[in-house]
Structure 1
Amino acid sequence: MRQAESVASGIAIIEGRSYRVAQVASFVRIPQGYHDLYGVISEVGAQATPETLVDARQRGESWMTVQLVGEIVETSFERGISQYPGINDEVHLVTEEDLGRIYGVGDEGQITIGRLAGAESIPVRIDLDRLVTRHSAVLGSTGSGKSTTIASLLRSICHSGGGKRCSSARILLLDIHGEYGDALKSAAQVFRVNPSDDEQPLHVPYWALDTLTLLDFLMGPMSETALTGVLDKIQVAKLAVAEGVAGVDVNALTINTPLPFSLRQLWADLVDPEYKTWADKERTSPALEEAGDAQSLKLPKYSPPGPGSALPDINQTNVLGIKRQLTQMRSRLLDRQYDFMLHPGEWEPDLAGKSQMDLPELLEAWFGHDKPITVLDLSGVPSQVLVRLIGGILNITYEAMFWGRNLPEGGRNRPELVVMEEAHRYLGRDADNPARDMVQRIVKEGRKFGVGAMIVSQRPSEIDETILSQCGTQFALRLSNNADQGKVKAALPDSLSGLVDTLPVLRTGEAIIMGEAARLPIRCRINLPPEGERPSSADPMVSAAWAKAKAKEDYERLAAAWRSQDPKWGQDNNTQENG
């Protein structure tokens, strides 16, 4: 398609408004009698020049490639083409009035998220149903505006229809860097390892996690025999508290049935046979010098075995050969940085396996409060356990929505959108990755049970391909890496692949939106949240910070924040006692 000489300057003025001509991702209109066809410009310049006219550039002609995408039938826009244009048909610029006919539909299931980049007066709406059920991905390089986009999208959902349309919204946000607690405070309940006054403590009870993943973290590799012995003891411990618990069939109970059991008592039961010696040949009298204690994780002290056949005798009953693994388990249980999981407050069972809070209270705390968003701030979680923990959180979420799908609290009656920030950190192609395995299950099966996923990443090329391919809607912000651009390009039809060429030059907060939730691939300026309600992910102002007079510094406080793994340490009172 050749550009007319009358607009050779690249700007046309229509009804007092100026329009830029031949911009990739902008629209054109082709009148066809009572129909108007619409197309998206996918290529401009040399690449769009037909091979038979490669010398056209020497004559001053400019060419562009247009992909037909829809038409106006009567008064409404429909995707798809019922007829094609003829040779020499006129091609017109799309004005704001035309764009209003395409995007101006305010259907019940649509939410406004921004403005068209080429026509700021035209709102951009997306289909909320398809956004959630068909899953989505927000992709962009560092500094492209991902965090602000996420905050804006979530606020747009919560405030749609004046806050009434989505009054029962349920969104779970996994916040890796602690950016969203303040930004979404008015619409979210925040759970954090080191909570502030208006936040809740983050507890993820170990007994609600996958048992094999938990044991791998606590004890490391074990032989098949040893693992079976440990699992048998866990099964017995769960059976002991299963009687009378709603929904539990003791005959069908497994090691992964979410029932409380005491890790301290498990450790004590396993460690005693490993160190025990006998004072007599009949092995009826233990050579015990000092008893151990499960509550304080104190090792029992036995007399060392005698040389040769001399007493005391070494114990050979119920020995699994796991002294090293039990030492690691004790170390994990004593490490305060894992308290949110291994000593989860009121969800921690006593030695008999009884806890003050159980699974219903955990699910209600996360999903039953009166705010539409739940932010799980994982910034204080050690990296060694992050992937396992996220896998566990997603497992709790999915299993609850899946098994309760037909209940008022379940996934079909009140769907759940799970937003996963910094997804490349835990959704890679690693051989053993519980988080990735759980997300694969969500994106493959979650649609039917009311669980949707939103993947957020600055490196889409590092995310598992199965997961990314299941994201039906993509918000592509500025991307400069070729491999990352290739992931976005793979989601587009070949005829629209030229849109990817615009990714490196998108403005901050500007995105190309394509897929199930968008009526058409569009270039959109995402609405900015109000000042004070934006994520704390903005770049520091180096020149301004270095120009200020040096303030009084306290490196004792800096070290305390590091030791506590809490970036807010001491900020409330400026002074805070260590410990």
Structure 2
Amino acid sequence: MPTSKEMLVLSNDPTFLGTVASVSGSAVSVHLAQSVASGLSIIEGRTYKIGQVGSFVRIPQGYQDLFGVVSEVGAKAAPDIAASIDGDTGRWMQVQLVGEAVGGVFERGVSQYPNIGDTVHIVTETNLGRIYGSNTFGKVVIGSLSSAESIPAMIDLNELITRHSAVLGSTGAGKSTTVASLLRSIAAGTGDDGSYPSSRILMLDIHGEYAAAFGDIATVFSVDPNPDQERLCIPYWALDTGELLDFLTGGVDGAREMAFTDKIFSLKVASHQLAGFPGVEEASITVDTPLPFSLKQLWYDLIDFEITTFQGPNRDQPTQQNPGNAATLTAPTYLPHAMGAQGPFLNAQAHGIRRQLNLLRSRLLDRRYDFLLHPGPWEPDLDGSVQADLDALLAGWIGGSNPITVLDLSGVPSIVVERLVGSILKIIYESLFWSREKSEGGIARPLLVVLEEAHRYLASEKDNLALETVRKIAKEGRKYGVGSMVISQRPSEVDETVLSQCGTYFTLRLSNPNDRQRVQGTLPDGLVGLLEVLPVLRTGEAIVMGEAAKLPMRCRITLPAEEHRPRSSDPKVVQAWSLPRRNEGYDRVVASWRAQKPRAVAQTVNIEREGVTDESQED
């Protein structure tokens, strides 16, 4: 039977759950009342689940309300008969206090603790209005609470972008769909006019999953573009020189490295002297200044120096027979050197970099790297002149008419993916950092960078340009309007510095104990119990916690429409295997393999098209 105190509460408040039994720090133990034995409660026509890990409770304190999250539920093995008569059901909840509302304004943290016997209540939609505020501007609805599906789950857009975030979950947990829903909710928005027209989101899509998901609100750049996509071009001359040389030459150091860097520097100076790029002073140019120069001219000048032979009494007369052609990567020819004192003689000043130059030439001839080494209008002529400058590149990536830009890197050879990601991030960060006083900079118009499959290039042991740049964004990006969203199925492999700087976590189902331990390390001890449910979360269900969520919450992410979902679903094995066998042409498989393009064909079919005339109209 309920106690007299419970009877009084029940007569006035159907949200009553139980009473405070003990308080220890931020942990509160609650005895559940007999009135909630069913596990369900209907309040104002809405159904609420009681005793769900991750659900919210409210503890009134006069003009102040304390809010907490259920972290554990249980019951006594054999309730005491006397206690049962007194109203103790033997069922209890463990609650972690997370914030308080004073005068209708919610704040994280608590200034006072409840007393033994204080009543505990369900958090209703009205209460959540006090937490999140009645004004939805700046709030994004991402789904519904698992404990009360009629209540929307909202996050704060400001905190999400400026404090960074992470979406973590095992394969098949709904990670890609969650990301698609999050970004679509932001781009389609819940602002005063229903959208955020100046939102700026850049996604690095490693597997090519998101072009279909954002086709109507995104500009897609791809190495192998469809008719409705743009060609992805990344000018090599905007990359870090050290990273570029590692890729082009296999790595050089000492005097050999100086041979390359000195020549690159002189070519960049000559390019500036020809074009007069605004904002550049010749005295301030370095080898890393993003100025165009021709790799073909670099190769030609260096190979010419390496293979030159001389004759004459002073060994200073070149024996060139054919000048070659830098544009076609044809090396000049010289009389072969001869033994003895008659000559021709080798160039004693040669750097010994012929092997590296041969690799550079092979890279330039490899069609797989055209997006980088032959970047369309950004490819310099031999004198360093270009048709398009970096402003056109940035306008396409972060200044387009659509709120989302997807860089589809699925067609990029794996050998260069890590360097490429690092270079893209550095181009973006450097441009926004140095333009922080301008309206196009990150402070006036912030940017969210979404990093798919982050464990591939942000592992601690890699120590590459991508990791270095993302660490910088994680530590300093907030000051310059650059936010990051890290997406990974293996959080234990992501660099700890990067993950620890993420202020908001969307944690989906995680089965691996090492991954769960990494996520648990980001939470206060009292809330660790929330993550014990990670292995049993449903697909598309997440625990959201951190700066963007005023309260940690377990929620079901809203699924996008079928046509707006990423191409990450599993193959339909049964349906595919149940079809009758059909003729197959594996010559097409080999053609795609060799061309490194999924849509390559083995035989080109020329179809002649003729206009159709309606004979009845002619008559």
Using the aligned pairs only, state the percent identity.
57
Is 1:464 equivalent to 2:495 in the alignment?
yes
Contact 1:280–1:313 (8 Å) recurs in 2: no
Contact 2:49–2:148 (8 Å) recurs in 1: no
Cα offset for 1:522?
0.6
From 209, 213, 235, the counterpart of 2:265: 235
Contact 2:50–2:147 (8 Å) recurs in 1: no
Cα offset for 1:382?
0.5
Question: Which residue of 1 is the match for residue 208 of structure 2?
Answer: 178
SS in 1 for 2:282: coil
Contact 1:281–1:313 (8 Å) recurs in 2: no
Task: Provide closer, same or farther for how the CA distance between residues 105 and 565 of structure 1 changes in structure 2, counting only shifts above 3 A.
Answer: farther
Cα offset for 1:543?
1.5
* Aligned mates of 1:482, 1:105 — CA distance in 2: 40
Contact 2:137–2:192 (8 Å) recurs in 1: no
Contact 2:168–2:505 (8 Å) recurs in 1: yes
- 1:318-339 CA-to-partner distances (Å, cap 9, x unmatched) read x111111111111111111001
From 369, 375, 380, the counterpart of 2:400: 369
Match of 1:285, as an amino acid?
A: Q
SS in 2 for 1:333: helix
Is 1:387 equivalent to 2:444 in the alignment?
no
Question: Which residue of 1 is the match for residue 481 of structure 2?
Answer: 450
Deviates more, 1:525-534 or 1:9-18: 9-18
From 336, 355, 360, the counterpart of 2:386: 355
Question: Which residue of 1 is the match for residue 472 of structure 2?
Answer: 441
Question: Which residue of 2 is the match for residue 38 of structure 1?
Answer: 67
Match of 1:434, as an amino acid?
A: L
Question: Which residue of 1 is the match for residue 519 of structure 2?
Answer: 488
Question: Which residue of 1 is the match for residue 8 of structure 2?
Answer: none
Any residues of structure 2 matched to 1:111-260 within 5 Å, and which?
111-160=140-189, 161=191, 165-243=195-273, 244-260=276-292
Cα offset for 1:17?
5.1
Question: Which residue of 2 is the match for residue 312 of structure 1?
Answer: 344
Cα offset for 1:408?
1.4
Contact 2:34–2:89 (8 Å) recurs in 1: no
* Aligned mates of 1:329, 1:163 — CA distance in 2: 53
Task: Provide closer, same or farther for how the CA distance between residues 15 and 129 of structure 1 changes in structure 2, counting only shifts above 3 A.
Answer: closer
Contact 1:442–1:453 (8 Å) recurs in 2: yes
Question: Which residue of 1 is the match for residue 293 of structure 2?
Answer: 261
Match of 2:224, as an amino acid?
A: N
From 90, 111, 128, the counterpart of 1:61: 90
Deviates more, 1:27-36 or 1:477-486: 27-36
Contact 1:127–1:518 (8 Å) recurs in 2: yes
Cα offset for 1:75?
3.6
* Aligned mates of 1:237, 1:353 — CA distance in 2: 7
Question: Which residue of 2 is the match for residue 78 of structure 1?
Answer: 107
Cα offset for 1:92?
2.7
Cα offset for 1:193?
0.5
User: Greater CA radius of gyration, 1 or 2?
Assistant: 2
Task: Provide closer, same or farther for how the CA distance between residues 224 and 135 of structure 1 changes in structure 2, counting only shifts above 3 A.
Answer: same
From 542, 559, 562, the counterpart of 2:593: 562
Task: Provide closer, same or farther for how the CA distance between residues 164 and 94 of structure 1 changes in structure 2, counting only shifts above 3 A.
Answer: closer
Question: Which residue of 2 is the match for residue 500 of structure 1?
Answer: 531
SS in 1 for 2:562: coil
From 304, 323, 332, the counterpart of 1:300: 332
TM-score using structure 1 length:
0.93
Cα offset for 1:154?
1.1
- 1:478-500 CA-to-partner distances (Å, cap 9, x unmatched) read 11111111121111111110011
Cα offset for 1:32?
2.8
* Aligned mates of 1:300, 1:463 — CA distance in 2: 49
* Aligned mates of 1:461, 1:179 — CA distance in 2: 23
* Aligned mates of 2:250, 2:134 — CA distance in 1: 56
Question: Which residue of 2 is the match for residue 330 of structure 1?
Answer: 361
Cα offset for 1:96?
4.2
Task: Provide closer, same or farther for how the CA distance between residues 167 and 142 of structure 1 changes in structure 2, counting only shifts above 3 A.
Answer: same
SS in 2 for 1:257: coil
Task: Provide closer, same or farther for how the CA distance between residues 537 and 162 of structure 1 changes in structure 2, counting only shifts above 3 A.
Answer: farther
* Aligned mates of 1:15, 1:415 — CA distance in 2: 41
Deviates more, 1:25-34 or 1:358-367: 25-34
Match of 2:152, as an amino acid?
A: P
Contact 1:278–1:313 (8 Å) recurs in 2: yes
Contact 2:234–2:372 (8 Å) recurs in 1: yes
* Aligned mates of 2:158, 2:132 — CA distance in 1: 17
- 1:312-361 CA-to-partner distances (Å, cap 9, x unmatched) read 111113x1111111111111111110010001111111111111111121
Deviates more, 1:193-202 or 1:556-565: 556-565
* Aligned mates of 1:383, 1:433 — CA distance in 2: 15
SS in 2 for 1:543: helix
Structure 1 spans left out of the alignment, 5+ residues: none
Cα offset for 1:16?
5.9
Is 1:93 equivalent to 2:122 in the alignment?
yes
Cα offset for 1:368?
2.0
* Aligned mates of 1:92, 1:250 — CA distance in 2: 70
Contact 1:103–1:124 (8 Å) recurs in 2: no
Equivalent residues, number = 567
Match of 1:456, as an amino acid?
A: I
Is 1:105 equivalent to 2:134 in the alignment?
yes
Match of 1:192, as an amino acid?
A: S
* Aligned mates of 1:454, 1:117 — CA distance in 2: 24
Match of 1:314, as an amino acid?
A: L
Contact 1:423–1:455 (8 Å) recurs in 2: yes
Match of 1:389, as an amino acid?
A: L
* Aligned mates of 2:45, 2:551 — CA distance in 1: 27
Contact 2:224–2:411 (8 Å) recurs in 1: yes
Structure 2 spans left out of the alignment, 5+ residues: 1-28, 607-619
- 1:524-554 CA-to-partner distances (Å, cap 9, x unmatched) read 1111111111100011121222222234423
From 455, 460, 482, the counterpart of 1:424: 455
Task: Provide closer, same or farther for how the CA distance between residues 141 and 283 of structure 1 changes in structure 2, counting only shifts above 3 A.
Answer: same
Question: Which residue of 2 is the match for residue 273 of structure 1?
Answer: 305
Deviates more, 1:278-287 or 1:419-428: 278-287
SS in 1 for 2:485: strand
- 1:446-494 CA-to-partner distances (Å, cap 9, x unmatched) read 1111111110000011011111111111110111111111121111111
Contact 1:281–1:311 (8 Å) recurs in 2: no
Contact 2:100–2:109 (8 Å) recurs in 1: yes
